[in-house]
Amino acid sequence: MNKTITIAHGNGGEENNELIKNIFYKHFKNDILERSEDAAVLQVAGEVAMTTDSFTVSPLFFPGGDIGKLAVCGTCNDLAMMGAKPKFLTCSVIIEEGFSTRELEKIVRSMKKELEVNGAVVVSGDTKVVPKGSVDKLFINTTGIGEIEQKGISSHNLQEGMSILVSRDVGAHGATIFAAREGITLESTLQTDCASLYPQVKALIDADIDIVAMRDATRGGVAAVLNEWAKASSVCVEIEEEKIPVQEEVKGICEMLGFEAVNLANEGTFVLAVAKADEVKALEVLQQTHESATLIGTVTHQHDGKVILNSSWGTKRFLDLPTGELLPRIC
C-alpha cells in the first residue's frame, strides 16, 4: 500500500477497497461492518439516543490525544450525557491527497481504543479523498446510537436547591490545543482532558444517583453549559468562583490570552446537576476517577435565566455566554 493517500484511494475501485480493508476494517472489525451492505441492520432494545458530530481539530495530534480519539470520545460522550450506553457508530472521513497512511492508521488505532472503552463498534462508514488544498489534512464525521440506561435526564429539569458539580478541572483541552498550535513549550505535563465519560456515568447510575441533567462542557466550556441550563429551566445558577477547579498551567495560558477557564473547551469534563440529597454521594463517585471533581454551585431563582459568579471577595457578576471565536478548530 502507498505511503500517502492518493486521489485513486477515493475512486471506489481497487485502491479504495485496499484502503478500507487495510486500515479501517483492520481496526474496526466486527460482524456487522464486514457484511459491507449499503446500510447496517442493528438490533436495539428499548429507547435509544442518537447524535452526530464532525471533527476538524488542528493540529491533528496533541498532548494526550488526536483527532481519532477526539471523534469517538466526542460522539460517545454526547450519548453518555443522555444516560445512554454507546453501542453503534458510523465513521466518515474526508482525506486530503498526500496524507500519510501511517498517520491515518495511528488515528484509527486511537479510535479503536476508545471504542473498546465504551463497548461500542463502528458499523458503517464512508471515505472520500479530495485534491490537495481542498481540506486541511483530515476531517472526521461520526454518528452514534446508544441504549438509554437512565431515563429523564434533561436540561429542562433543574429546580431551586439542586446542586451543580463538575467531574474534574476545567479548560485543559482548549489550553492544550492552543499551546500545541502555537508551539509553546510548557515545563509541565499539561495535556488534553479528552476521555470517554461513559464509565463515570455508568458508575453514577450504578450508585442509584438520580441524575437531573448532564452536559459535557465542549465548545463554550462550563460557562456555555450553565447558561444553556439556566435558560432551558428558567432558573438562576449561582457558582462559587473559588471552587471551580483549574490547573495552574491552564490559569497561565488564560492570563496570556485574556480568557477565563470556564469559557475554554473540554473533551472529558462534564457538568452534573443532582438533588441536594444526592450531592455527597455523587461527588464520591466522581472523585474515584478525578480527585478534582467538586461542587461548584447551586440552583436558585435570584435572576432566572442567568448565571451568577460569586467571587471570593464577596462580589457578584453575571457569567455570560462566550462571544466571538475563542480558539478556532479545537474539535
What would the grid cell of residue 254 be? Answer: 488564560
Residues ≥6 apart with Cβ < 8 Å to 53: 71, 74, 75, 78, 141, 142, 143
| 282 vs 47: CA distance, rounded Å | 25
* Side-chain-side CA neighbours of residue 274 (13 Å): 27
Region at 312 (left for phi over 0; alpha for psi -120 to 50; beta for the rest)? alpha
Q: Given this model, what pLDDT does residue 187 score?
A: 67
Which pLDDT score is estimated for 40? 94
Give the separation between CA 90 and CA 185, rounded to whole angstroms: 36
C-alpha cell of 192?
488534553
Give one DSSP letter per residue of 175-227, joined into a string: HHHHHHHHT---SS---------HHHHHHHHHTT--EEEEEE--TTHHHHHHH
Verdict on whether the full-model pTM lies above 0.85: yes
Burial class (CB in 10 A: 0-12, 13-18, 19+), 135: middle
Category of 152 on φ-ψ map: left (φ > 0), alpha (ψ -120 to 50) or beta: left
Question: Does residue 246 contact residue 261 with C-beta atoms inside 8 Å?
Answer: yes
pLDDT at res. 186: 59
In sequence order, the β-bridge partners of residue 54 are: 141
Domains and CATH numbers, the chain: 7-148 (3.30.1330.10), 163-318 (3.90.650.10)
Rounded to whole angstroms, the Cα distance separating 179 from 176 reads: 5
Place of cell 461520526: 142
**Angle at Cα 87 formed by Cα 35 and Cα 147, nearest 5°?**
130
Contact in structure between 170 and 261 (CB atoms under 8 Å): yes
Which grid cell sits at 217?
462542557
Q: Looking at this protein, which amino acid is placed at residue 8?
A: A
> Taking the CB of residue 78, how many other CB atoms lie within 10 A of it?
23
Residue 250 CA, distance from chain mean position:
18
| Residue pair 141/95 in contact by the 8 Å Cβ criterion | no
Task: Name residues of the chain where pLDDT drops below 70.
Answer: 185-187
